[in-house]
Every structure is written in C-alpha cells, then in structure tokens.
Amino acid sequence: MNASKPISPNPLLLAAIALSLAGLLVALLFWQPARPGADNAAPAGGDFQLNSQAGPVSLSDFRGKLVLLYFGYTQCPDICPTSLAFLTQAVNELSAEEQARLQVIFISVDPERDSLEHLQVYSSYFHPDYIGLTASPAQVRQVADNYGAGYRRVDSDSEMGYIIDHTAELYLVDAQGQLQTRIPHGTEPEQILQVLRQWLPTPP
C-alpha cells in the first residue's frame, strides 16, 4: 500500500488567516472599554426659567409638588392632543387635594408660532390648572436637551407650512425638582394615574 501524500496547505487560505489575525491584533491594540454610562446616559433635567402669559416661570417655583412636563406645540395635529387628553383623564381621577400637589407644564417647541396668550388658551383647554410656557428657540432647545426631549422642524406642503417632529413622552419631576422617569406616549390613563399616585408628595 502506498503512503498517502501529505496535504499541502492552501496559500490563499493561509493568507486569509494571516490577514484576519492581523486585523484582530490591531483591534485589540486600539480597543478601549467604554466608560460606564458613556452611552445612553440619563438626561440631567434640572431647573429652568421660561415665559408664561403671566410672566417668567421657573421649575423651582413648584418645589414641593409633582411636576409633569410635556414638550409639544399647539398646531400638532394628533400626538399632542392625544397625550394631553390621556393625561387629563388621569388627572381628573385625582381628588382636589391630590391635584393641588400636582403641576402640569406644557412647553412649546414652536415659539415662532405659539404666542404666550394662545399657548395658555391651548393648555387651559385640557385643564384650567395647566400652564403653557415657551421662550426663544435657543432657550427652549436648552431645556429640551437637558431633559432628553428631541424635536425638529419638518417642511410640509400643508397650510401650516411646517410641522414639528417631536418626542411625545411625559417627563416626571419629583417634589425635590429631580427628573425621575418618563411616561411613554400612548400609556393608558389608568396606568398614568397609578404613576401619579406613586409619585405624588405626601401632604404636609
């Protein structure tokens, strides 16, 4: 019986393996572990001052109350009305004493079209205690960035000229002024009510 011939290595295969090993070595040399919290860092929130129809308003004015922030605009065709309607259904289930420990603030991301007067009329339509705020585009952008609320202007062929593509979450700020959680758009009123009662401050 003849001895089998030794199998010669495939030059192309060897070259491919060598390149792969070289690439892996380079990756290991330059790779650094990500810092904890470097990605998807939670928004800081924090105090701010914007304008209402009655004058300047700061978040710190409501220290001791649960505050819900919503970033939207009055000409929003569907998302804003739906979010505010769901929220209002939940708020209306609270007692008068519970509502006194809550403040809802609607922040317009369309200050070029939303006058302070119109903004307050719009906010009060959903509930008489809601407050509408806005300011210069730069000021609004800073507050939105601090809370992780995104928005952008989108040109439209409609009579409005443009629409605002924006996040539609409710931002919950506790009685100490700290951003605690966000309530997603579409959350049912019953669930919103549970969250409100969970975070409402204890009466003095």
State residue 168's pLDDT score: 95
- For 8-37, how does the pLDDT look when each residue is reduced to its tens digit (9 = 90+)? 555 544 444 444 444 443 333 333 333 333
CATH of the domain at 192: 3.40.30.10
Q: Do the domain assignments include residue 14?
A: no
What domain count does the chain have? 1
Q: Do the domain assignments include residue 80?
A: yes
| Cβ count within 10 A of residue 134 | 25
Instruction: Give residue 113's domain range.
Output: 49-199
* 75-82 long-range Cβ contacts below 8 angstroms, 24+ apart: 75/110, 75/113, 75/114, 75/160, 75/163, 76/163, 76/164, 76/166, 77/163, 79/166, 79/168, 79/185, 80/168, 82/185, 82/186
Q: Do the domain assignments include residue 73?
A: yes
> Between 33 and 89, where is the model more confident?
89
Q: Do the domain assignments include residue 94?
A: yes
- Two tokens, residue 203: 């009466």
- For 159-197, how does the pLDDT look when each residue is reduced to its tens digit (9 = 90+)? 778 999 999 999 999 999 999 999 999 999 999 999 999
Q: Do the domain assignments include residue 41?
A: no
Q: Do the domain assignments include residue 160?
A: yes
Q: Do the domain assignments include residue 95?
A: yes
Q: Do the domain assignments include residue 5?
A: no
